[in-house]
Chain A
Amino acid sequence: MKKVVVLALALTVTPFAIEAQNTAQVNATATILANVVATPLTNLEFGQLQPGTGTTVSTGAAAPGGQTLGEFQIVHNSNVTVSTTVPANLVGPGGNIAVTFLCAYASASQGPTDIGDVACDALPTRVVLLPGVDETSFVQVAGSISGADTNVQAGAYSTSMTFTVTAVN
């Protein structure tokens, strides 16, 4: 008799203890595009050289007469990376003139650099102070030519560098 009563109680309790329910989730997603505008400002000009003489154009200030510091401007509202392939030579009528390049970031055009000079293919990530708010950065491109490399045929020697600016978060 006792066993029967226990069974009956169990049956009455069970239906109220179980409730059908379930849950699931999906995501809402969006990507805010970064604003990045790069504008070339000045070419790096070493100026006119006598054969056998070298020269250097430095970062951090406007170059002296006859020379110009290379520079481009970046308006960006996110962190950016700047990459390039660095050429080894200027090319002209007498062949190649070896050249070395150095780059730096600045907050003002032709102004003092925010970091020390680095190889142009090793610029660090440029960090914005306030993500989402446009800031202006400058990349200065400097370089030097050794006197030993300028005993070449007269003429114009040049090369080009293509910089890629990429927004990163």
Chain B
Amino acid sequence: MSAHRVLVLIAALCALLSVPQPSTGQIAIFPAQDLVFGPLQRGVPEFVATTDAARRAQFDVIARGSLIATFVLPTEMVSLANGSVLPIAILANDGLAGRSNSLVVFDPTQPLTFRGHPSKPFSLYLGGTADPGASQSPGSYSATITLFVIQAGA
């Protein structure tokens, strides 16, 4: 193989690989707000709507290209004091996503595909229902909601 052919081969490989590729760090996620049920009476369920700006959970995503968001949703909150649990449900209609003037309901139990923008945050809001029992132990409860975002393509 001549040196010229080798160079052509290398050039072809470089051209093939010069399509912009995502790298770790190009997806920025900002955990903007917790899902806050606040003070609850035992035995009385509490619903937080995705339109409740003060209490809904919020993530903001800044990234390029096509993205897939997947949530790990808790089914119970745990007492910080004694480990007792408080059921929580984040269901199919408890997601709201988009940019400020264009929000759509989504199912947070399923992966969500959306387009990122390098300067306009894409927001993901979550509501849900806490369902304390009639003998729910008093105190503070907490659970973690995790969002994974991967790049699906340019």
Contact = CB atoms under 8 A, between A and B. Distances in A.
A8 B8 CA distance: 11
B23 A33 contact: no
Interface string B27-51: 1111111111111111000100000
A15 B154 CA distance: 13
Given A11-B14, A21-B24, A27 B38 contact: no
A132 interface: yes
Interface residues of B, number: 64
Given A4-B6, A7-B10, A18-B24, A25 B138 contact: no
Contacts of B41: 32-33
Interface residues of A, number: 34
B139 to A, nearest CB: 4
Contact of A30 (B25, B38, B58, B145): B38
Given A22-B24, A28-B34, A77 B138 contact: yes
Contacts of A21: 24, 27, 148-151
B96 to A, nearest CB: 15
Contact of B142 (A1, A20, A28): A28
Contact of A8 (B13, B63, B151): B13
Interface string B4-16: 0010011001100
Contact of B137 (A4, A11, A23, A132): A132
Interface of A: 1, 4, 7-8, 11-12, 14-15, 18-35, 77-78, 130-133, 167, 169
